[in-house]
Chain A
Amino acid sequence: MRKSRWIGVGLTVSALVLSGCSAGPAGTNVAQDTKAPLELWTRTTPGGAGEQATKRLAEAFEKATGFKVQVTAIFDDFETKLAQRAAQRDLPDIVMNDVTQVGTLKSQGLVREVEPGKIKHASELTEQALKSNQTPDGKLYGLPYSAQASALLIRKDWREKLGKAVPQSWAELADLAKAFTTGDPDGNGKNDTAGLTATLSTKRGYASWYFSNFLWAGGGDFITETGGGKYKPSMSTPESVAAVQWFRDLGCKDNVIQPGSVTMPTPATNETFEAGKAGMYVVGPYLLPRFDKSLGKDKYEVVPMPAGAKNADVLAEGLSIYMMAGSPNQAGQDAFGDFAISTDGQKIGMEGESAFIVQLPVNKNVDITQVRSDPRWKTYADIYAKSGHYAPSIPNWTPVRQDTADTVSALVADCKLDTKAELSKLDTKLTATLQQQGISAS
């Protein structure tokens, strides 16, 4: 009797706790309180320059508007931690993260729609940046606050030592990479340098991210819009296959990609370039302060990527402010977004030699040459304007990026694989993903 009584009590308590835990969805109809402090998460290294810059922006915002903001910097597994908070139905009020997250966040109901009418500086945003935050239905689910594109970083001292010119074509790029690999450009008498450093780990889909710089310029694409918001996979088209094959040959035939690239996420790849183990790196401007410090500003140069078979398109990326669902202070969320994209907010975000969170401004009224005298920033701004290519806006880009990263990384890791066959298999996977998201053309 006693045992059964305890079992009964235990079950009742568990049921009560469980039912308490799984009460209805939090939704967006939360009682509003404009005095509630805003919890802000930003994807940057805790204690690093990005966190300082975000805090500086938050302080200026508090001063200007009276709202309160608590900044939390998280870098590793940011999306995972956000998913955990979502599962607890206790999201931060504001999230500052990559623009490619917009589809995922919207489809999961984790962000609320941005109402341009409530953001008075929205009309000052560049069309390119604004469009990148729109979902296929044309609605805005994020507010851009920073933009960037990729450029080619070259070890200038190595290039000059070997008497080579800045590459103007993919063939010249490959030639320079070979020279950096075999010509002992650091003069240490050892065969320990690579031509190109590449982030080809599958973590967070990095390989896909990196390879997009070559895919689009080669005329290929991950998925292609067929009209009416429908897409078909495009990784096995002749253009995509040629781009993959060309890139793959750098690793498999020429051996000019840094050893271990297929398991390297971005931190390890950055270290390879700054440690003088590789001579070229296709990357955004956010690493300039770091490489200036570790490598020396005079040691490397920033040039546009040479054009591929089609054009010189490179990956354009952006950072967005997401107004998360369930916030008790939506007025504060709107006010923060508005402040961050204003002329003042953008300039504060760009201040400093290293502690800045705005790479390229998204406000039409901010001229980068007026804020940063370093001409390398103008190079990046021009590349972004002319050749910046954003990932398409679909309900959830993450699975597309992950599947393509798996295949690209695999093709470089295993040189025995058949390129065309693997890309056809990838297209089959992409078809399933598109069907799952309800945007497949077939």
Chain B
Amino acid sequence: MTVDHAKPAAVGADRPAVKRAPAPKARRRSDRDGKWWTPWFFLAPALILFVYFKFIPMITAVTMSFQDVQPYLGNQWVGGENYSTVLGDEAFHSAIWHTVVIAVGQTVGSMVIGLALALLMEGQSKRLKFLRSAAFLPVVVPIAVVAELWRIMYHPTEDGMLNSILGMVGLGPSGFINDPDTSMISVIITGIWRGAPYDMMIFLAGLAGIDRGLYEAATVDGASRWRKILHVTLPGLRSVFSILFVLAAIRGLRVFTEVFLLTNGGPNGSTEVAMTLIYKLGLEQNRLGVGAAGAVLLFLATLVLTLFVQVLRRRRDA
């Protein structure tokens, strides 16, 4: 890790000692500066798109979750029946559990490896820029390509790519995604491979914001590299951790494409997650109401998790 290249950010040191100007004053200045509708005018295109493509479908999904959806026969209001169907379904319970396992596995794995990569690749050297770009590639590769690539790597015979490597150290061959015992970890590894470089970039941005003076002080105090990471780097990255945690957890809860393409929830339902189950119920079995109920429940879980993390952050910051 290099500690002598970044400009001193002096986080906190330049913070003004006085509080901000009172709100009423700011509002008066704003009124003087332009018409009240100017910001709304600039926001309008985005708002219209959000309303049409995000919020209306969301409200429609909530409505559908209380209906037996049959567009050409007329939707029937069924109250909470769809919710009781979903909540009483054993497959949904295991799908939720699998979703949590994948979310936790991918979140923790991506953050640990992303942080390790960031610490290794921090710096201004041109070579590092090349390495960082190379490491970031999995994020920009389309997920369908990623899934196909890993499907090939996970080939379950001795001559499969990963099995050849396992064979060299006297292990395997593993069934990977074809074996219910190893399918979950295989999907998690694929997600980590794709998610870690993304986390790495956020960590790199966070590392650039840590006060270099703290490292110098730690060096003067005779701290080892590990101690510097533990007592300077990690506390300095606290806000990055919480942002990444929320982003990764949401990404984990909504995991779909790699599972759908790699295993379609199998084998034997061992990788069935909430999204693949919702997809099957809603779009493959044409039970759109039941699928919508599952989607609303997933949305609520994501919302609760996000709010929970925000509350924790505020308490800690307070």
Q: Interface on A for B, CB 8 Å cutoff?
A: 2, 6, 13-14, 17-18, 21-22, 24-28, 77, 79-80, 83-84, 86-87, 89, 91, 104, 108-110, 190, 192, 201-204, 259-263, 265, 325-326, 396, 398-399, 402, 406, 409-410, 413-414, 417
Contacts and interface: CB of A to CB of B under 8 A. Distances in A.
Interface in B43-98: 51-52, 55-56, 59-60, 63, 69-75
A13 B71 CA distance: 24
B36, B265, B286 interface centre (most CB from chain A within 10 Å):
B286
Given A83-B286, A409-B266, A259 B74 contact: no
Given A25-B72, A26-B72, A201-B264, A192 B56 contact: no
Interface residues of B, number: 41
Interface in B283-303: 283-286, 288
Contacts of A83: 282-283, 286, 288
6 contacts: A77-B283, A80-B283, A108-B286, A326-B72, A402-B284, A409-B268
Nearest to A81: B283
B71 A87 contact: yes
A180 to B, nearest CB: 15
Contacts of A192: 157, 159
A25 B55 contact: no
A6 B283 CA distance: 37
Contacts of B233: none
Contacts of A399: 285
Scoring A109, A325, A406, A410 by chain B CB atoms within 10 A of each residue's CB, the highest score goes to A406
Interface string B130-149: 00000000000000000000
Interface string B151-162: 100011101000
**9 closest Cβ pairs, A-B complex:** A413-B267, A410-B268, A109-B73, A109-B72, A80-B283, A203-B264, A262-B267, A259-B156, A25-B74
Interface of B: 36, 40, 51-52, 55-56, 59-60, 63, 69-75, 151, 155-157, 159, 177-180, 262-269, 279-280, 282-286, 288
B265 to A, nearest CB: 7
Given A409-B267, A409-B268, A14 B56 contact: yes
A259 B283 contact: no
Nearest to A417: B268
A398 B284 contact: yes
Contacts of B263: 263
A26 B71 CA distance: 8
B262 A263 contact: yes
A417 B283 CA distance: 29
Contact of B56 (A18, A91, A203): A18
A260 B267 contact: no
A13 B44 CA distance: 13
A127 to B, nearest CB: 29
Contacts of B73: 25, 108-109
B70 A108 contact: yes
A259 B56 contact: no
A16 B258 CA distance: 38
A262 B178 contact: yes
Contacts of A260: 155-156, 178
Contact of A17 (B52, B74, B268, B280): B52
Contacts of A261: 178
A406 B72 contact: no
B187 to A, nearest CB: 11
A202 B155 CA distance: 18
